[in-house]
Amino acid sequence: MTAAREFLRGNEALAYGALKTGLNAFFGYPITPSSEIPETLANEFGNPRYPGFKVFLQAASELEAINMVIGAASTGAKAMAATSGPGFSLKQEGISYAAAMELPMLIVDVNRGGPGLGNLGPEQTDYFQATKGGGHGGYRNIVLAPSSVPDMAAFPALAFSLAFQYRNPVLILADAFLGQLKEDLMFPEVPAQEFDTSWATTGARGPERHILSSMHLDLPELSRHSEHLRSKFEEIDRREQRSEKYQTDDADVILVAFGICARLSQRAVVMLREKGIRAGLLRPITISPFPRGELAALVQRGVKNFLVVELNTGQMLEDVRLATGGRARLASVQRVGGLLPSPLDIVRQVEAMPR
Amino acid sequence: MIGVEGHYEVKLGQLPTLTGKPTHYCAGCEHGTLTRLIAYALQELGARERTVLVDSVGCSVLAHEYLNTDAVQAPHGRAPAVMTGIKRMRPDLLVFAVQGDGDAVSIGLSELIYAANRGEPITCFLVNNGIYGMTGGQMAPTTPAGMITTTTPHGRDITLTGPPIDASKLLATLEGPAYVKRVLLPVTPTPSADFYNARGSMEGARSVQNAFRVQEMGGFAFVEFVSTCSVNWKMSILQSKHYAAEVLAKIFPPGLYKDKFGVEKR
Amino acid sequence: MKIETILAGHGGQGVLELANWLAYFNMVKGRHVAYTPSYGPETRGGKVKCYVVSSDERIDSPIVDDPDILVVMNAPSMDFVPLLKTGGTLLVNSSLVSESHRRDDVKVVEVPATEIAGGLRAYSPEKGKDTAIAANSVMFGACLAVSGESIQDELDRIREVFGHFLTGRKAVYIPLNVKAVEEGFGHVTRARSAGLSPRSSVPHPGIAP
C-alpha cells in the first residue's frame, strides 16, 4: 500500500497529472500561487519517463504564453498554461480565440485574492470569469473544479480528454489553498485515448488545406459558426455535468460547494448529522456545465433548503438559484480576501435556516 | 507592376501557392506585391505542403484567402507567439507571418522582440506604411512626425506621442535574430521622375527568399518592407510612392541590419 | 482513528519540515494525511503555523480548529493553547518556552528539544558543528511518542521518512536526525514512566495515556 502512494502539493500533483497524461507543451509565466506548476514541469523536462513532453517555455508575459498555447494546440498537441487571477484576465483574449477556432487546450487558474492585484489567499472569485466565458464573444469553457490533491492529479487527464473530444478549451479552477495543500494520493491509471486530429495544421495536403481561423466576415457564416458552438455546448451540457453527492439521499438541507469549501462543508455535514440535522453535500466537479440536473433532481425529491458555501460574494449562488428554479430556499456562506469559513460557521448558518 | 525576370514571368493564379482569388488590397498597396513575392518564394522552395501561414490582424488578415497554404489565425500582435507554439511542436514546418506596423510594433512589440530574442526559427514580414490601414487611418508607432492621421488631426506631435519606432534597428540590437533586413518596396521614381523603377520588388524578392532560407538554417528572420498607404495618407498612388522614397526611406533607411549566416553574400 | 495536530514556531525552526515528516510518516503507515502550510496573517513577522491531519478514513477538512496535539516550538506560539481540545496534548519545546500554559484540562509534555539536539554533536557529519537545529527532529520523536507509536517498530519507517526528504547532499544528516528522533521519543517515554508528565487524568481517544 505504501509503495505507490505519494505525498504531494496540489500544484505538483497537477503538473505530474498532466505529464502522465501525455502533456506535449507547457507555456507559462510565473505568478504566485501557481508557479510550482511550471517549476515542477521545468524540473521534469527531459525526463525519459515523459517522452511526449517536448516543449517547456517560460514566456515573456501571460499574453505570450496563451498565444504559444494556441500555436501548439493548432498542431494537435496537448498544450497547457497555468496562471492565477491577473494572468487569467490577460489570457481571456486568447481563450476566446481558441474557443472560436475550436482548439483543445488546458488552462489552469489557481484563484487568488482579487480583484486587481489582491493577495495570495484562496478565493473563488474567478468563478464568473471561468464559467461564463471571461473573454469576448459567445462561447463557453468547460471548467473542472478540484477539491483535493487527488483531484488535482486526476483532472488533467479528464481535461485533455474533454478538450480533444469536443475541441474546446478546458479550464481547471483551483484555489490558492489547494495549490499548497499536501495530501496522500495515488495517480490513477490513465487509459490511452485516440482522438481525431485531422483538423490540425500540418501543412497542406494536395489541394486540401487546414485553415484554423475565427474570422467569419460573412454575417450568415458567423451566425452558423456561433450556432455550431452553441449546439456543441448544449451537447456538453447534456453529457458532461459531473458532481459528487455526500449523504444527500435523505437530506433536508443540501450544501453546495467546490474546492476547499467542499472539504469544510463535508466536515460541517458530519457535525450537523451528529446534532441530528439531516444535511448533505453536493459537490460540483464541473462548474461549467453546472450540475443543474442533480440540483433539479434534489428539488424534485422535495429538498427545500440549499446552502451555498463559496469564497466570493455570491457567484455560484446565482447558478444554484437558476437550477433550483425558485422552488427552494437559498442561503449562502461567503468569504473573500483569502479568509475561510470554519465548519462551525457553516453549521451555524444551517442551524439558522428555517426548515 | 512587378519587375519581371525570367522564371518569374507567370500569370497571377497559375502559381500553386496562390489561390487565384483577386485580392482586396487597395490599388497601389504593396501588400499585393508582397503576397506575390511570398508565393514565388514558396514555389521556388517547393514548400507549399509544409508551410503554415499565421494570419495577423490588419490589412494582412485575409492573407490565407490569397496564399494557398495551411493557415492559423493569431490575435492582434500575437503572431510571433503563435508561430513559436507551432514551430516548437513542428520544427519541420516552414512558419511565417505578414504583420502590419500596428500588429508588430504596437500591440505585438513584446511578442516580436521575444521571438527574435529567442532566435525562434520563424520568418516575420513587416509591412510598414506608417499608419493603421484596416481600421481607417489612425496613428501607428511608425507614423512620421507631422503626419496627419485620424487620431493626429493636426499632425503627429512627437513631444506628446514620442517619435516613430525603428523596428529593424531595435531588433538588430538583439543577439537572437539571424537576419534583419529593411527594403523600400514601392516602385520608386527615377531622378528625372519620368520613369519608376522596380528595384524595390527585386530586392524584396531576394529578401523574402533569404528570410525563408534563414529559417531553414535555424535562424530568426525579419524583413521590414517600407510601403505605402495612399488611401489613408490621402495622396494619389504616385504621390504615395514619392512620399515613401523621399520621406519614409529617410526615417527608415533600407539596408541589411543583421546577417548572421551571411546569406546575402551568396 | 484521526489525529489533528497544529505545529507552530518561527521561521527557521524547521516547523514545516517537522510537519512534513509527521504527515509522511503517517502516510507510510497506511493512513490518509493532509498537510496545510502557513498562510494568512500569522506569516507576518516570520511566524509559522501549520496543520497535519492523519486518519484511517479520507480526510474532510484539512484545517484544524481544535487540535488533539499542539506542538509549540517557541514562546509566542503558546498563543494557540486555547485551541487545544480538552484532554489534548500540549507538546512544548521547553528549551525556549518557560511561560505557563494556563490550562488544567490538557496533558502537557515538556521536551527541552533545543538542548537535547545540541547534545548530539557527535552525530553531526561536520564534527563539532552545532546541532541545535535538529530540535525539530527531537520533537518528531516526541510527537510519535505521544501518538502511541513504538520507536523500535518504527525505526525503518523513520529512516524512510528522512530518506524521502533529505536527499542528495542532505542525506549525510540522516543519522543525526534519526538519533534526534530516538532521543525525543526516549525523553517523553522516560518522563511518562517517571510520572512527570500528564497534568490531567482525562484520557483522549487515540492518544496514548
The pLDDT value recorded for residue A36 is 95
Cell (9 digits) for B133: 490601414
Q: C22 to chain A: nearest residue by CA?
A: A7
The pLDDT value recorded for residue C198 is 45
Segments of A151-278 assigned E as strands:
169-175, 182-185, 211-212, 243-246, 253-256
Question: pLDDT class for A4, splitting at 50, 70, 90?
Answer: confident
- The answer to whether the Cβ–Cβ distance between C32 and A183 falls below 8 Å is yes
Side chain identity at residue C112, one-letter code: P
Dist. CA C48–CA C6, nearest whole Å: 10
Q: Strand A142-144 and strand B255-259: pairing?
A: unpaired
Asked if omega into A38 is within 30° of 0 (cis), the reply is: no
Interface A:C, ≥3 CB–CB pairs < 8 Å = yes
Smallest Cα distance from A340 to chain C, Å: 10
User: Average pLDDT in the B183-195 region?
Assistant: 85
- The answer to whether the Cβ–Cβ distance between A181 and C20 falls below 8 Å is no
Asked if omega into A33 is within 30° of 0 (cis), the reply is: yes
The size of the A-C interface in CB pairs under 8 A is 65
- The answer to whether the Cβ–Cβ distance between B110 and A213 falls below 8 Å is no
- The answer to whether the Cβ–Cβ distance between A182 and C65 falls below 8 Å is no
φ, ψ for residue B78, nearest 5 deg = -95, 5
Residue of C205, A255, A60, C206 lying closest to B176 (CA atoms)? A60
C76 to A88, B40, C46, C104, C199: CA distances (angstroms): 39, 77, 11, 20, 22
List pLDDT tens digits, range B147-184.
999 999 999 999 999 999 999 999 999 999 999 999 99
List pLDDT tens digits, range B27-45.
999 999 999 999 999 999 9
List pLDDT tens digits, range A344-353.
999 999 999 9
The pLDDT value recorded for residue B7 is 45
Cell (9 digits) for C63: 484545517
Interface test with A, best of B21, B56, B82 (most A CBs within 10 A): B82
Dist. CA B60–CA B105, nearest whole Å: 15
Mean pLDDT of all residues in chain A?
95
User: Average pLDDT in the A147-158 region?
Assistant: 97
Q: What is the ipTM of this complex?
A: 0.92
Share of chain C above pLDDT 70, in %: 89
Please report which helix (H) or strand (E) contains residue A333, including its range: strand A329-334
Dist. CA A239–CA A234, nearest whole Å: 9
Interface test with B, best of A78, A197, A212, A214 (most B CBs within 10 A): A212
- The answer to whether the Cβ–Cβ distance between B49 and A97 falls below 8 Å is no
Q: Is A345 on the interface with C (CB under 8 A)?
A: no
- Chain C residues in contact with A345 (beta carbon < 8 A): none
> In tens digits, what is the pLDDT along chain C, a chain of 209 residues?
999 999 999 988 999 999 999 999 999 999 999 999 985 565 666 889 999 999 999 999 999 999 999 999 999 999 999 999 999 999 999 999 988 888 899 999 999 999 999 999 888 888 778 888 899 999 999 999 999 888 888 899 999 999 999 999 999 999 999 999 999 999 999 887 876 544 433 333 444 44
Q: What is the pTM of this model?
A: 0.92
Residue of A88, A103, A238, A86 lying closest to A164 (CA atoms)? A103
Residue A145 near residue A173, CB atoms below 8 Å? yes
C27 to B44, C34, C35, C40: CA distances (angstroms): 65, 9, 11, 27
- How far apart, in Å, do the first and last CA atoms of chain A sit? 45
For residue A255, the Cα-to-chain-centroid distance in whole angstroms is: 20
- The answer to whether the Cβ–Cβ distance between A215 and B51 falls below 8 Å is no
List pLDDT tens digits, range A92-125.
999 999 999 999 999 999 999 999 999 999 999 9
Residue A271 near residue A344, CB atoms below 8 Å? yes
The pLDDT value recorded for residue B12 is 53
Whether pLDDT at A17 is above 70: yes
Q: Would you give the DSSP letter of residue B67?
A: B
The pLDDT value recorded for residue C40 is 55
CB-nearest to B90 from A63, A75, A93 is A75
Cell (9 digits) for C64: 484544524
- List beta partners, residue A83: A109
Lowest mean pLDDT among A122-131, A191-200, B75-84, C160-169: A191-200
Helix (H/G/I), strand (E/B), else coil: B152: strand
- The answer to whether the Cβ–Cβ distance between C27 and A5 falls below 8 Å is yes
